[in-house]
Chain A
């Protein structure tokens, strides 16, 4: 079997064996369900058959949950020393990073798949724009990939899980909220750059059903950069 898949399989099994996966699924779906269907300006107040409410809550919840999933992935291996075993086996640093990334991404995709009943429910309530729904899901999946890559990088530069968690929240928070917030107050070129870096400016159009290659490329680039930095940081262990 491909080493990437071997690692993905082990990590995914470890998420489920350690109950992290179940806890994450229950809490994520619990919060999503509560905020989408029961709380405040929920899906019924919108007067429109779409999942915009769900997408905006999921956007926040994934930002908070993903660092909790990624914090362990490399920090723990470094603390216990098992990273030495992995790196001396027939696995390259890149395969290791991608394998870990995929395991986390798959778990998020599983979590999102459990929210598909929302889609079916809303579809029976009114005229739904099917394309827009899938577009929103794609946006969430891409945004998650970027957060996972950031979290993996945070986990690779420390051997303390708490530090990895907080660091991932801070870096993720910059992209998720701070860049967008600051760009509003910044004039000119710098403001535009920050606005471009802001996750929300790319995600919100996808959540409304507008798919643009620029947005897809943006999320994929952030992901690739995060994974590349993780690989570099693992390489530094060998120095």
Chain B
């Protein structure tokens, strides 16, 4: 199911938590929602899941506006809220049964769905315990299990991997990626490598506005128009190498990082690459090229650039 968000705005008093945002998510896509605290991620998610009412703008799911079809659309959405609230006095199995019944899973297939979720989320050893007795990581798994119990078309996960240990994080990421092939997934997170590892597309929002939208590769390209290489050339005269590098037609700027070991940073002319030229230059002069690293802008830097202002 496709989700289309049109000019969505949410006000709390005079403050706009979400300010006129529009975007689209298609089936088979995993959208990562990034942004500093209070940027409006959770508010947007709450509106998609129908917890908060939409007053300005619209959310269209599968061609239907959420305003008139909340009842039917809710059945196709699985939601893991931010702090993962759960009924601590219920056992894991009872709770999953309750959620399945509420989401109108046909009575006959409830046991199968529960068994499937227990397996997928690794809850087998804890399934008879009360939720209150579980550790944070296991509670998070229960939260994921209840979100997916009715095999929803759309999965909205607000910080799904908080509280999980590194192994669990890898498992849950794999799971999300697997689900994301056929479903529509929106997840929010603070953990930047997580977005890169799981998401097809990244949406960065800041103060209620979208500041970037694209794959991690396109975001990098946007943030950094020119190629940057780090090059180390041994067995050569520093002055000569420096001058030769600067004379290449592809280089725009050469910075000396360390003159003793002949370590340079080369910034190429826009839309050109200096890799071949540097290599040829070394071959022609008999210099030994010991390092050539394309220097990528980290997602952290992009995030900081876009959200710190």
Q: Do A and B come from one complex?
A: yes
A residues at B contact (CB < 8 Å): 1, 3, 6-7, 10, 13-14, 17-18, 80-82, 84-92, 238-239
Cβ B89 vs Cβ A18 within 8 A: yes
**Residues of A contacting B89 in the complex (Cβ-Cβ under 8 angstroms):** 14, 17-18
Instruction: Name, among A80, A88, A92, the residue most crowded by chain B CB atoms within 10 Å (CB to CB).
Output: A88
21 A–B contacts, CB within 8 A, in A order: A1-B101, A1-B107, A3-B102, A10-B98, A13-B94, A84-B51, A85-B86, A87-B51, A88-B50, A88-B77, A88-B79, A88-B81, A89-B99, A89-B103, A90-B71, A90-B74, A90-B75, A90-B103, A91-B102, A92-B71, A239-B53
Q: How far is the CA of A87 from the CA of B52 in the complex (A)?
A: 10
Chain B residue total in the interface (Cβ 8 A):
28
Q: How many Å from the CB of B304 to the closest CB on chain A?
A: 31
**Residues of A contacting B50 in the complex (Cβ-Cβ under 8 angstroms):** 87-88
Cβ B98 vs Cβ A82 within 8 A: no
Cβ B51 vs Cβ A82 within 8 A: no
Cβ A81 vs Cβ B81 within 8 A: yes
Cβ A84 vs Cβ B102 within 8 A: no
Count of A-B contacts with CB under 8 A? 63
Q: How far is the CA of A239 from the CA of B47 in the complex (A)?
A: 10
Q: How many Å from the CB of A193 to the closest CB on chain B?
A: 36
Determine whether B87 belongs to the interface, using a CB cutoff of 8 Å to chain A. Answer: yes
Q: How far is the CA of A89 from the CA of B147 in the complex (A)?
A: 9
Q: How far is the CA of A82 from the CA of B81 in the complex (A)?
A: 9
Assess A88 versus B103: contact at CB under 8 Å? Given A14-B89, A17-B89: no
Cβ B49 vs Cβ A88 within 8 A: yes
Q: How far is the CA of A1 from the CA of B83 in the complex (A)?
A: 29
Cβ A85 vs Cβ B85 within 8 A: yes
**Residues of A contacting B101 in the complex (Cβ-Cβ under 8 angstroms):** 1, 3, 6
Q: How far is the CA of A84 from the CA of B147 in the complex (A)?
A: 12
Assess A238 versus B52: contact at CB under 8 Å? Given A17-B89, A85-B146, A90-B104: yes
- Consensus secondary structure, chain A interface: helix
Q: Which of A13, A84, A89, A239 contacts B85 (CB 8 A)?
A: A84
**Residues of A contacting B49 in the complex (Cβ-Cβ under 8 angstroms):** 88
Which 9 A-B pairs rank lowest in CB-CB distance, beginning with the nearest? A81-B85, A90-B75, A6-B101, A88-B49, A89-B102, A82-B85, A238-B53, A88-B79, A90-B74
Known contacts A6-B98, A87-B51; 18 additional CB pairs below 8 A are A1-B101, A1-B107, A3-B101, A6-B101, A13-B94, A14-B89, A17-B89, A81-B83, A82-B85, A84-B51, A84-B81, A85-B86, A88-B49, A88-B51, A89-B99, A90-B74, A90-B102, A92-B71
From A3, which residue of chain B is reached at the shortest CB distance? Answer: B102
Q: How many Å from the CB of B283 to the closest CB on chain A?
A: 63
Q: How far is the CA of A176 from the CA of B175 in the complex (A)?
A: 57
Q: How many Å from the CB of B12 to the closest CB on chain A?
A: 10
From A96, which residue of chain B is reached at the shortest CB distance? Answer: B102
Q: How far is the CA of A13 from the CA of B95 in the complex (A)?
A: 12
Q: How many Å from the CB of B97 to the closest CB on chain A?
A: 9
Assess A80 versus B85: contact at CB under 8 Å? Given A10-B98, A85-B146, A90-B102: yes
Cβ B51 vs Cβ A238 within 8 A: yes
Q: How far is the CA of A238 from the CA of B74 in the complex (A)?
A: 15
Cβ A82 vs Cβ B53 within 8 A: no
**Residues of B contacting A17 in the complex (Cβ-Cβ under 8 angstroms):** 89-90
